[in-house]
Amino acid sequence: MTFDVTHPDVQRVIDAALAEDIGSGDITTKACIPSRLPGEARFVARQDLTLAGAELIALLFEGAKLRKHSGDRLVAGDEIAIVRGPAQMLLTRERVTLNFLQRLSGVATLAAKFVAAVEGTGARILDTRKTTPGLRVLEKMAAAAGGVVNHRMGLYDAILIKNNHIRLAGGVRPAIEMAQSAQKPIEVEVRTRAELEDALACGAARVLLDNMTPEEAAREIEFIGRRAETEISGGITLANVRAYAEARPDFISTGSITHSAVAVDINCGIHAL
């Protein structure tokens, strides 16, 4: 997924963020800044980071000049964008813009660290649905900017049979047999060798090895022998992801990319022209 600012969810989220912050008006700015005063805002990275969301600046400000784009690796001091316009408008939209840039670049930065940690193993990092409510499209775009592969966007675009589905359906085999009516590739979560054997026998396209140690996952991947794609999930961290990657799965998924990313430090300096 590229950083697609034409996606309808993007403008919806921007509009909601502006309404949330501005409400009936920016009373401080209106009280002390002349309405005709022109200004210039410069967005600058204050730490090393992977950028995401820079394209939103052009939606928030007319005439924005982007110096960097989503996916770029920045060092402290790199200029991201310059915006010129009414000083009141720059001040009123500064925080919303920074909230997007700092949050999304935090996701991209963490994603890039996971990708770097497994380099050379052939394993690809996946994000998950563990996203901030209402921000999934943007956070998944940010994860992709960091180099990960987007997993399913929601419940509507892929079949993933998880442990609760298996329990309610009465087992792996009946769950897969019923899901086959959707005529889509089936991924199924397995926790034991017996569940894995049922998944393979029923033709699962991908098996999700959940909450296994790297050694356990390696044994199961060897047993699978390319009969299905393999994905490892559960307890994945930057500290252990390399060990899991060396088990040679096709994919490793981790929710931490979106649910535990720390906002990065980006500054917006505004001055009068």
The domains of the chain, with CATH numbers, are 8-115+261-272 (3.90.1170.20), 120-259 (3.20.20.70)
**Which residues are part of the catalytic machinery?**
95, 130, 162, 189, 210
d(CA 183, CA 192): 26
Nearest-angstrom CA–CA distance, 190 and 195: 6
Task: For residue 49, give the H/E element and its range.
Answer: strand 49-50
Is the pLDDT at 190 greater than 80? The verdict is yes
pLDDT digits (tens, 9 = 90+) for 226-273: 999 999 999 999 999 999 999 999 999 999 999 999 999 999 999 999
Query: For 126, phi and psi rounded to 5 degrees?
Result: -115, 145
Measure the CA angle with vertex 95, ends 129 and 131; round to 5°. Answer: 5
pLDDT tens digits, 93-152: 999 999 999 999 999 999 999 999 999 999 999 999 999 999 999 999 999 999 999 999
Res 3: pLDDT: 85
Averaged pLDDT score across all residues of the chain:
97
Q: What is the pLDDT of residues 36-73, one digit of tens each?
A: 999 999 999 999 999 999 999 999 999 899 999 999 99
Q: Residue 112 has what pLDDT?
A: 98
Residue type, 75: V
- Interatomic CA distance for residues 170 and 163, integer angstroms: 11
pLDDT at 1: 54
Instruction: Count Cβ atoms within 10 A of the Cβ of residue 75 and give its class: 0-12 exposed, 13-18 middle, 19 or more buried.
Output: exposed
pLDDT at 194 (0 to 100): 96
* pTM flag (> 0.85): yes
The arithmetic mean of pLDDT across residues 174-194, rounded, is 96
For residue 247, give Cα distances in angstroms to 64, 69, 130, 150, 244.
46, 34, 24, 21, 5
* SS3 category, 75: coil
Q: What is the mean pLDDT of residues 167-181?
A: 97
